[in-house]
Amino acid sequence: MPSLHHLHLPAGRRKSAAGYRHGRIVLIDGKDLTRYMLKYGVAVQKRQVFTLYEIDEDFFDEESV
């Protein structure tokens, strides 16, 4: 859910959204918009998928041999 504090948005936008008579408008900032676009796959395409590996340090533990 978008953050409900809109102090970082201009007062004019908050006032316009609050006065909209045909429904409810939820204001979100660019970070929230980007997060939702990626989460739900809206207006984005996967370009490349890769696997990230990490070292299994237990494998090199001398006590486990």
HEC letters along the chain = CCCCCCCCCCHHHHHHHHCCCCCCCCCCCHHHHHHHHHHHCCCCCCCCCCCCCCCCHHHHCHHHC
Average pLDDT over residues 56-65: 79
- Exposure class string for 46-55: b at 16+ Cβ within 10 A, else e: eeeeeeeeee
Given a cut of 60, whether residue 53 has pLDDT beyond it is yes
Does 54 or 27 have the greater pLDDT score?
54
- The pLDDT tens digits for 12-47 are 888 888 888 888 888 888 899 999 999 999 999 999
Predicted TM-score (pTM) above 0.85:
no
Give the pLDDT band (50/70/90) at residue 61: confident
